[in-house]
Amino acid sequence: MEKKVLSLTIGSVLFISFGSIFIRLSSAPALTIAFYRMFFSVLLLLPLMKKRDIQELKNINKRALSLCIFSGFFLALHFATWITSLSYTTVASSTVLVSMHPIIILIIKWLYYKKKIHFKIAIGVFVTFIGSAVISYTGFGIFDSRELLGNGLAFAGAIAVSFYILIGEKVRKEISVNSYTFIVYLMSSFFLLIFVTVGKRPLVGFPLKQWVLFLALAVFCNLLGHSVFNWALGYLDSSLVSIIIISEPIFASIWAIFIFSEMPKVKEIVGGLLIISGIVYYIRTENQLKKEKRKKDEVVRCRS
Protein backbone atom coordinates (compact mmCIF):
# COMPACT_ATOMS: atom_id res chain seq x y z
CA MET A 1 0.00 0.00 0.00
CA GLU A 2 2.81 2.40 0.90
CA LYS A 3 4.42 1.99 -2.56
CA LYS A 4 1.08 2.83 -4.22
CA VAL A 5 0.69 5.93 -2.04
CA LEU A 6 4.24 7.03 -2.84
CA SER A 7 3.74 6.55 -6.60
CA LEU A 8 0.49 8.56 -6.66
CA THR A 9 2.00 11.30 -4.50
CA ILE A 10 5.00 11.62 -6.80
CA GLY A 11 2.73 11.70 -9.87
CA SER A 12 0.61 14.47 -8.33
CA VAL A 13 3.68 16.75 -8.24
CA LEU A 14 3.58 16.93 -12.05
CA PHE A 15 0.08 18.38 -11.92
CA ILE A 16 1.00 20.87 -9.19
CA SER A 17 4.07 22.05 -11.12
CA PHE A 18 1.74 23.62 -13.72
CA GLY A 19 0.26 25.90 -11.03
CA SER A 20 2.82 28.69 -11.42
CA ILE A 21 2.45 28.47 -15.22
CA PHE A 22 -1.36 28.83 -15.12
CA ILE A 23 -1.00 31.76 -12.70
CA ARG A 24 1.54 33.52 -14.94
CA LEU A 25 -0.78 33.07 -17.92
CA SER A 26 -3.61 34.74 -16.00
CA SER A 27 -4.07 38.51 -15.92
CA ALA A 28 -6.45 38.43 -12.94
CA PRO A 29 -5.36 39.77 -9.51
CA ALA A 30 -3.48 37.25 -7.34
CA LEU A 31 -6.12 37.14 -4.57
CA THR A 32 -8.88 36.58 -7.13
CA ILE A 33 -6.93 33.70 -8.68
CA ALA A 34 -6.43 32.16 -5.25
CA PHE A 35 -10.12 32.49 -4.37
CA TYR A 36 -11.44 30.87 -7.55
CA ARG A 37 -8.83 28.13 -7.37
CA MET A 38 -10.23 27.10 -3.99
CA PHE A 39 -13.90 27.90 -4.67
CA PHE A 40 -14.02 25.85 -7.88
CA SER A 41 -12.27 23.03 -6.02
CA VAL A 42 -15.08 23.00 -3.44
CA LEU A 43 -17.71 22.83 -6.21
CA LEU A 44 -15.86 19.96 -7.90
CA LEU A 45 -15.60 18.08 -4.60
CA LEU A 46 -19.35 18.18 -3.93
CA PRO A 47 -20.28 15.35 -6.37
CA LEU A 48 -17.49 13.21 -4.91
CA MET A 49 -18.85 13.41 -1.36
CA LYS A 50 -20.42 10.09 -0.32
CA LYS A 51 -23.11 9.45 2.28
CA ARG A 52 -20.55 8.36 4.85
CA ASP A 53 -18.59 11.58 4.25
CA ILE A 54 -21.70 13.71 4.82
CA GLN A 55 -22.50 11.70 7.94
CA GLU A 56 -18.94 12.17 9.16
CA LEU A 57 -19.20 15.93 8.63
CA LYS A 58 -22.40 16.01 10.69
CA ASN A 59 -20.76 14.13 13.57
CA ILE A 60 -17.34 15.78 13.48
CA ASN A 61 -16.10 16.81 16.93
CA LYS A 62 -15.33 20.43 17.79
CA ARG A 63 -11.58 19.83 18.12
CA ALA A 64 -11.24 18.30 14.64
CA LEU A 65 -13.45 21.01 13.14
CA SER A 66 -11.38 23.76 14.77
CA LEU A 67 -8.17 22.25 13.41
CA CYS A 68 -9.70 22.04 9.91
CA ILE A 69 -10.65 25.74 10.11
CA PHE A 70 -7.09 26.66 11.10
CA SER A 71 -5.78 24.46 8.30
CA GLY A 72 -8.05 26.27 5.82
CA PHE A 73 -6.78 29.64 7.06
CA PHE A 74 -3.13 28.67 6.59
CA LEU A 75 -3.88 27.24 3.13
CA ALA A 76 -5.58 30.53 2.18
CA LEU A 77 -2.59 32.47 3.50
CA HIS A 78 -0.24 30.19 1.56
CA PHE A 79 -1.98 30.78 -1.78
CA ALA A 80 -2.46 34.51 -1.13
CA THR A 81 1.25 35.07 -0.49
CA TRP A 82 2.72 32.60 -2.97
CA ILE A 83 0.50 33.52 -5.93
CA THR A 84 1.23 37.21 -5.29
CA SER A 85 4.97 36.44 -5.24
CA LEU A 86 4.84 35.32 -8.89
CA SER A 87 4.07 38.92 -9.88
CA TYR A 88 7.37 40.09 -8.40
CA THR A 89 9.93 37.32 -8.85
CA THR A 90 10.71 34.46 -11.23
CA VAL A 91 9.01 31.07 -11.33
CA ALA A 92 12.29 29.41 -10.31
CA SER A 93 12.85 31.60 -7.23
CA SER A 94 9.22 31.53 -6.13
CA THR A 95 8.72 27.76 -6.43
CA VAL A 96 12.07 26.91 -4.82
CA LEU A 97 11.57 29.24 -1.84
CA VAL A 98 7.98 28.10 -1.24
CA SER A 99 9.28 24.52 -1.24
CA MET A 100 11.38 25.13 1.88
CA HIS A 101 8.55 23.87 4.10
CA PRO A 102 10.26 20.54 5.02
CA ILE A 103 12.97 22.51 6.84
CA ILE A 104 10.41 24.90 8.34
CA ILE A 105 8.35 21.93 9.56
CA LEU A 106 11.47 20.52 11.20
CA ILE A 107 12.16 23.84 12.95
CA ILE A 108 8.52 24.12 14.11
CA LYS A 109 8.71 20.61 15.56
CA TRP A 110 11.97 21.58 17.28
CA LEU A 111 10.49 24.76 18.78
CA TYR A 112 6.99 23.51 19.64
CA TYR A 113 7.39 19.77 20.22
CA LYS A 114 10.96 20.09 21.56
CA LYS A 115 12.11 17.57 18.96
CA LYS A 116 15.89 17.29 19.07
CA ILE A 117 17.79 18.13 15.88
CA HIS A 118 20.77 15.87 15.25
CA PHE A 119 24.02 17.58 14.23
CA LYS A 120 23.94 15.87 10.81
CA ILE A 121 20.39 17.13 10.18
CA ALA A 122 21.45 20.63 11.28
CA ILE A 123 23.94 20.60 8.37
CA GLY A 124 21.06 20.09 5.92
CA VAL A 125 19.13 22.97 7.53
CA PHE A 126 22.18 25.24 7.26
CA VAL A 127 22.77 24.38 3.57
CA THR A 128 19.10 25.04 2.78
CA PHE A 129 19.11 28.50 4.35
CA ILE A 130 22.39 29.34 2.59
CA GLY A 131 20.59 28.46 -0.64
CA SER A 132 17.69 30.78 0.20
CA ALA A 133 20.18 33.58 0.96
CA VAL A 134 21.87 33.05 -2.43
CA ILE A 135 18.53 33.28 -4.25
CA SER A 136 17.55 36.44 -2.35
CA TYR A 137 20.97 38.08 -2.85
CA THR A 138 20.72 41.16 -5.07
CA GLY A 139 24.34 42.28 -5.08
CA PHE A 140 26.29 44.95 -3.18
CA GLY A 141 24.86 48.41 -3.79
CA ILE A 142 21.95 46.99 -5.76
CA PHE A 143 18.50 46.80 -4.17
CA ASP A 144 15.79 45.16 -6.24
CA SER A 145 12.73 45.81 -4.06
CA ARG A 146 10.35 43.91 -6.35
CA GLU A 147 12.47 40.76 -6.37
CA LEU A 148 13.05 40.99 -2.64
CA LEU A 149 9.30 41.38 -2.01
CA GLY A 150 8.51 38.43 -4.27
CA ASN A 151 11.06 36.20 -2.55
CA GLY A 152 9.77 37.28 0.86
CA LEU A 153 6.19 36.47 -0.10
CA ALA A 154 7.24 33.05 -1.41
CA PHE A 155 9.02 32.32 1.87
CA ALA A 156 5.93 33.46 3.80
CA GLY A 157 3.95 31.01 1.68
CA ALA A 158 6.34 28.26 2.76
CA ILE A 159 5.74 29.07 6.44
CA ALA A 160 1.95 29.06 5.95
CA VAL A 161 1.92 25.72 4.09
CA SER A 162 4.11 24.20 6.81
CA PHE A 163 1.37 24.78 9.38
CA TYR A 164 -1.20 23.48 6.88
CA ILE A 165 0.76 20.22 6.44
CA LEU A 166 1.36 19.76 10.18
CA ILE A 167 -2.32 20.25 11.01
CA GLY A 168 -3.30 17.94 8.15
CA GLU A 169 -1.05 15.19 9.45
CA LYS A 170 -2.80 15.40 12.83
CA VAL A 171 -6.43 15.66 11.63
CA ARG A 172 -6.14 13.05 8.86
CA LYS A 173 -5.66 10.40 11.55
CA GLU A 174 -9.15 11.25 12.83
CA ILE A 175 -11.29 11.94 9.74
CA SER A 176 -11.40 10.77 6.11
CA VAL A 177 -9.61 12.55 3.28
CA ASN A 178 -12.89 13.64 1.61
CA SER A 179 -14.27 15.22 4.78
CA TYR A 180 -10.97 16.87 5.66
CA THR A 181 -10.34 18.21 2.17
CA PHE A 182 -13.90 19.54 1.78
CA ILE A 183 -13.84 21.48 5.07
CA VAL A 184 -10.34 22.83 4.50
CA TYR A 185 -11.02 23.94 0.92
CA LEU A 186 -14.36 25.48 1.96
CA MET A 187 -12.78 27.43 4.82
CA SER A 188 -9.85 28.43 2.62
CA SER A 189 -12.34 29.83 0.07
CA PHE A 190 -14.12 31.72 2.86
CA PHE A 191 -10.90 33.34 4.14
CA LEU A 192 -9.76 34.18 0.60
CA LEU A 193 -13.13 35.82 -0.08
CA ILE A 194 -12.47 38.03 2.95
CA PHE A 195 -8.99 38.86 1.59
CA VAL A 196 -10.48 39.71 -1.83
CA THR A 197 -13.19 41.90 -0.27
CA VAL A 198 -10.78 43.76 2.01
CA GLY A 199 -8.30 44.17 -0.86
CA LYS A 200 -11.12 45.41 -3.16
CA ARG A 201 -10.18 42.95 -5.91
CA PRO A 202 -12.70 42.15 -8.70
CA LEU A 203 -14.57 38.83 -8.83
CA VAL A 204 -16.35 39.25 -12.19
CA GLY A 205 -15.81 40.74 -15.63
CA PHE A 206 -13.08 38.36 -16.82
CA PRO A 207 -12.77 36.88 -20.36
CA LEU A 208 -13.33 33.15 -20.98
CA LYS A 209 -9.57 32.45 -20.90
CA GLN A 210 -9.38 33.53 -17.25
CA TRP A 211 -12.25 31.26 -16.20
CA VAL A 212 -10.57 28.32 -17.97
CA LEU A 213 -7.35 29.03 -16.07
CA PHE A 214 -9.22 29.25 -12.74
CA LEU A 215 -10.82 25.88 -13.48
CA ALA A 216 -7.50 24.35 -14.58
CA LEU A 217 -5.92 25.37 -11.27
CA ALA A 218 -8.78 23.74 -9.38
CA VAL A 219 -8.78 20.48 -11.39
CA PHE A 220 -5.10 19.83 -12.01
CA CYS A 221 -3.36 21.56 -9.12
CA ASN A 222 -5.88 21.07 -6.32
CA LEU A 223 -7.94 17.93 -7.00
CA LEU A 224 -5.19 15.96 -8.75
CA GLY A 225 -2.41 17.58 -6.72
CA HIS A 226 -3.04 18.89 -3.21
CA SER A 227 -5.96 16.51 -2.59
CA VAL A 228 -3.62 13.58 -3.21
CA PHE A 229 -1.25 15.05 -0.60
CA ASN A 230 -4.12 15.27 1.89
CA TRP A 231 -4.90 11.62 1.21
CA ALA A 232 -1.23 10.64 1.50
CA LEU A 233 -0.93 12.31 4.92
CA GLY A 234 -3.12 9.52 6.27
CA TYR A 235 -0.43 6.97 5.32
CA LEU A 236 2.89 8.82 5.17
CA ASP A 237 4.84 11.05 7.53
CA SER A 238 4.46 14.80 6.86
CA SER A 239 8.24 15.17 6.36
CA LEU A 240 8.23 12.54 3.61
CA VAL A 241 5.26 14.17 1.85
CA SER A 242 7.08 17.51 2.00
CA ILE A 243 10.21 15.98 0.49
CA ILE A 244 8.26 14.58 -2.45
CA ILE A 245 6.81 18.03 -3.13
CA ILE A 246 10.25 19.62 -3.52
CA SER A 247 10.54 18.25 -7.06
CA GLU A 248 7.89 20.81 -8.08
CA PRO A 249 10.38 23.69 -8.65
CA ILE A 250 12.37 21.54 -11.06
CA PHE A 251 9.38 20.82 -13.29
CA ALA A 252 7.96 24.36 -12.92
CA SER A 253 11.28 25.91 -13.96
CA ILE A 254 11.45 23.64 -17.03
CA TRP A 255 7.89 24.62 -18.09
CA ALA A 256 8.81 28.32 -17.58
CA ILE A 257 11.82 27.97 -19.91
CA PHE A 258 9.72 26.53 -22.75
CA ILE A 259 6.55 28.63 -22.25
CA PHE A 260 7.92 32.02 -21.13
CA SER A 261 11.58 31.71 -22.24
CA GLU A 262 12.37 32.49 -18.60
CA MET A 263 15.86 31.13 -18.12
CA PRO A 264 16.84 30.78 -14.43
CA LYS A 265 19.59 33.14 -13.27
CA VAL A 266 22.90 31.72 -12.04
CA LYS A 267 22.04 32.60 -8.43
CA GLU A 268 18.66 30.82 -8.79
CA ILE A 269 20.32 27.69 -10.12
CA VAL A 270 23.01 27.71 -7.42
CA GLY A 271 20.59 28.61 -4.64
CA GLY A 272 17.99 26.14 -5.86
CA LEU A 273 20.53 23.31 -5.98
CA LEU A 274 21.66 24.17 -2.45
CA ILE A 275 18.08 24.19 -1.13
CA ILE A 276 17.09 20.93 -2.81
CA SER A 277 20.39 19.28 -1.85
CA GLY A 278 19.98 20.39 1.75
CA ILE A 279 16.43 19.04 1.95
CA VAL A 280 17.33 15.72 0.28
CA TYR A 281 20.33 15.38 2.61
CA TYR A 282 18.04 16.06 5.56
CA ILE A 283 15.49 13.39 4.69
CA ARG A 284 18.14 10.77 3.88
CA THR A 285 19.93 11.51 7.14
CA GLU A 286 16.68 11.39 9.10
CA ASN A 287 15.79 8.01 7.58
CA GLN A 288 19.28 6.69 8.35
CA LEU A 289 19.03 7.87 11.98
CA LYS A 290 15.60 6.23 12.30
CA LYS A 291 16.99 2.92 11.03
CA GLU A 292 19.89 3.11 13.46
CA LYS A 293 17.48 3.80 16.32
CA ARG A 294 15.28 0.83 15.34
CA LYS A 295 18.32 -1.46 15.29
CA LYS A 296 19.39 -0.25 18.74
CA ASP A 297 15.86 -0.79 20.06
CA GLU A 298 15.82 -4.31 18.64
CA VAL A 299 19.18 -5.10 20.29
CA VAL A 300 17.85 -3.80 23.64
CA ARG A 301 14.68 -5.91 23.31
CA CYS A 302 16.69 -9.04 22.46
CA ARG A 303 18.98 -8.55 25.47
CA SER A 304 16.03 -8.02 27.81
Of the listed ranges 31-40, 141-150, 180-189, 282-291, the one predicted with least confidence: 141-150
In which band, very low, low, confident or very high, does the pLDDT at 85 lie, cut at 50, 70 and 90? very high
Position with higher pLDDT, 290 vs 56: 56
What is the pLDDT at residue 141? 45
Of the listed ranges 20-34, 48-62, 200-214, the one predicted with least confidence: 48-62
User: What is the percent of the chain where pLDDT is above 90?
Assistant: 36
Best-predicted range by mean pLDDT (53-57, 180-184, 189-193, 273-277): 189-193
In which band, very low, low, confident or very high, does the pLDDT at 13 lie, cut at 50, 70 and 90? confident
Question: What is the per-residue pLDDT across 106-155, written as a single tens digit (0 to 9) for each?
Answer: 888 888 777 777 777 778 778 887 877 777 665 544 556 788 899 899 99
Q: Is the pLDDT of residue 2 over 90?
A: no
Question: What is the per-residue pLDDT across 228-255, written as a single tens digit (0 to 9) for each?
Answer: 877 787 777 766 776 677 778 888 888 8
Q: Is the pLDDT of residue 290 over 50?
A: yes
What is the pLDDT at residue 144? 67
What is the pLDDT at residue 140? 46
The pLDDT of 7-14, averaged and rounded, is 82
In which band, very low, low, confident or very high, does the pLDDT at 304 lie, cut at 50, 70 and 90? low
What is the pLDDT at residue 205? 93
Best-predicted range by mean pLDDT (9-23, 86-100, 106-120, 185-199): 185-199
The string of DSSP codes covering the chain is -HHHHHHHHHHHHHHHTTHHHHHHH--S-HHHHHHHHHHHHHHHHGGG--HHHHHHHHT--HHHHHHHHHHHHHHHHHHHHHHHHTTTS-HHHHHHHHTTHHHHHHHHHHHHS-----HHHHHHHHHHHHHHHHHH---TT---HHHHHHHHHHHHHHHHHHHHHHHHHHHTTTS-HHHHHHHHHHHHHHHHHHHHHHTT---S---HHHHHHHHHIIIIIIIIIIHHHHHHTTTS-HHHHHHHHTTHHHHHHHHHHHHH--PPPHHHHHHHHHHHHHHHHHHHHHHHHHHHHHHHHHHHHHH-
